[in-house]
Chain A
Amino acid sequence: MTAKAADGKEVFKTERHYHPQATNCKDNKMLYGAQVKTQYIRDTSLQPFETKAESFEIPLPEGVRAVDVTVSLTYEINKPDNKIEIFKVTRKVALDR
Chain B
Amino acid sequence: MRIMLLLLIAAVVVMPLSNVEAQKAKSIDELAKMFDSSQCKSCHAEIYAQWENSHHARSLMGVQDGLMMTPLAKKGSTPFSPDDPKKATLKTFPCFKCHLPQAVAHAEDSFAVEYAEALLAGDKAKVGKLKITCIVCHNEKAIIHKLSDGYPEKGVLYGSKDIASHPDATFKKVKKSQIMDHAIMCGQCHGLGPNLEFENPVQCATLYGSYEHNYLSKGGQQQCQECHMQKINGKADHLIAPNWNDLEGTKKLLQNAIAMDVQTVGYEWLRKGGDLRPMIVVNTKINQNAGHRIPDG
A residues with CB within 8 A of B: 1, 3, 12, 18-20, 22, 24, 33-40, 43, 45-60, 64-67, 69, 71, 73, 75, 77-78, 82, 84-87, 89, 91, 93-95
Contact mask for chain B residues 261-297; partner A; CB cutoff 8 A; 1 contact, 0 none: 0101111100000000111111111111111111111
Q: In the bound complex, do residue B203 and residue A93 qualify as a contact, i.e. CB atoms below 8 Å apart?
A: no
Q: In the bound complex, do residue A89 and residue B260 qualify as a contact, i.e. CB atoms below 8 Å apart?
A: yes
Q: In the bound complex, do residue B296 and residue A58 qualify as a contact, i.e. CB atoms below 8 Å apart?
A: no
B254 interface contact, C-beta 8 A: yes
Q: Name the A residues within 8 Å of B283 (CB-CB).
A: 53-56
Bound-complex Cα distance A42 to B200 (A): 21
B255 interface contact, C-beta 8 A: yes
Consensus secondary structure, chain A interface: strand
Q: In the bound complex, do residue B251 and residue A60 qualify as a contact, i.e. CB atoms below 8 Å apart?
A: no
Q: In the bound complex, do residue B260 and residue A87 qualify as a contact, i.e. CB atoms below 8 Å apart?
A: yes
Q: In the bound complex, do residue A35 and residue B79 qualify as a contact, i.e. CB atoms below 8 Å apart?
A: yes
Contacts A36-B78, A58-B279, A69-B282 known; A77 to B63 CB distance under 8 Å?
yes
Residue of B215, B267, B278, B286 near A48 (CB, 8 A) is: B215
Residue of A20, A38, A84, A87 near B293 (CB, 8 A) is: A20
Q: Name the B residues within 8 Å of A54 (CB-CB).
A: 283-284
Bound-complex Cα distance A66 to B278 (A): 10
